[in-house]
Amino acid sequence: MRRRTMRRRRWAIRPPPMTETPNLRRLIGRISELPVLPSVLVELLVLDPQADSYPDQVTELISIDPGFSLRVLRAANSADSAPIAPIVSISAAIARIGTVRAARLVLAGGVVRAFVPRDAWERSLWLHALQVGAMSRELAHANPSLGVAPEHAYAAGLLHDVGRFIMFQEAPEQLRDIDEGEWGDAAGLLEIERSVCGIDHCQVGAMACERWGLPIPLIAAVELHHGTPGEPHSTDPLVKVVRAADLSMFPSSIPGQPSFAERSDAEVDATLIPSLPAGIDHDARSLRRLIDQAVIEADAAARHLHLAGDL
């Protein structure tokens, strides 16, 4: 099967500033021991969604893995899809729910499999990741001049906080203290993470993605989604899309904060619009429409992934 792919190569990440702590030693060890992502996921991440062969490629890849096949069959036979008769084949299931949705379900399910949420707190982290993935896709679709494939944007948004999942596995109590601490923006979060762990989740996530051999644009989006002016990839279109999506969904990662979907156009215009990267051009009303749609998509994905309880 011939595949057109995102350009992939090893990315020599700039050595990040680290503070030696017991947590840092455990985190670095954890990254070196991360399980390899299922080959199906890696293949999905590098497919070209614009290729004519994309539907056939996705069907072939999903059919390889029984677990992923079962997930797609369940989605196709769910009440949301409401089939007239039971669907029993992978090709029919994908035809029912759509190639793009099937690929997103498998991608999200595969990453959840690698980092199984153990409680409501970790499920809330996953819901935020799903929201940023959905919002990244919406923004890529709404800003075609950036040249970012919506499904590549979804993958990068979904993985943008993978460093937090790794950190929670190694230092859960300290990370809960961080989330309950006094911070109200990304800079405050990163500062507390570095003080507790000696490193922040952007750096951890980028190291993990590099270990997995993921495409360089995706690694850049994970490392730079909170913004690092002057970095070689800080102005990459995919970085901009994921950064804008995370800003749009960031309140959902702060305990007790109302989301932008719950705020007025005036609040969105005053607090969110000025922060968007160049090239992401929306007024408050159009951006809130995208946010609303992304929340709906993320909630549906959370239900299919059994992440919706106790959130």
Could you tell me which residue, 103 or 11, shows the higher pLDDT? 103
C-alpha to C-alpha distance for 211 and 167, rounded to whole angstroms: 16
Could you tell me which residue, 126 or 3, shows the higher pLDDT? 126
Tens-place pLDDT, residues 118-151:
777 778 888 899 999 999 999 999 999 999 999 9
- Considering only CA atoms, give the Rg of the chain: 19
CA distances in angstroms from 179 to 189, 206, 249, 254, listed in the order given: 8, 21, 16, 7
Q: Which residue bears the tokens 């909630």?
A: 299
Angle at 268 between CA 265 and CA 269, to 5 degrees: 85
How high is the mean pLDDT of the chain? 82
pLDDT band at residue 156 under the 50/70/90 scheme:
very high
Q: Which residue bears the tokens 């970790």?
A: 122
What sign does the dihedral 195-199-201-203 (CA atoms) show? Answer: positive
The mean pLDDT value for 198-218 works out to 88
> How does DSSP assign 146-175, residue by residue?
G---HHHHHHHHHHTTHHHHHHHHH-HHHH
Residue partners of 297: CB distance under 8 A and separation at least 6? 130, 134, 137
Contacts by residues 115-119 (CB-CB < 8 Å, ≥ 24 positions apart): 115/162, 115/165, 115/166, 115/169, 117/307
CB 94 within 8 A of CB 103: no
Q: For the ranges 58-62, 91-95, 143-147, 259-263, which has the lowest average pLDDT? A: 259-263
C-alpha to C-alpha distance for 69 and 169, rounded to whole angstroms: 28
pLDDT band at residue 102 under the 50/70/90 scheme:
very high
Could you tell me which residue, 232 or 125, shows the higher pLDDT? 125
pLDDT band at residue 10 under the 50/70/90 scheme:
very low
Residue 70: phi and psi, rounded to 5, are -65, -40
Helix, strand, coil percentages, rounded to 5, for the chain: 65, 0, 35
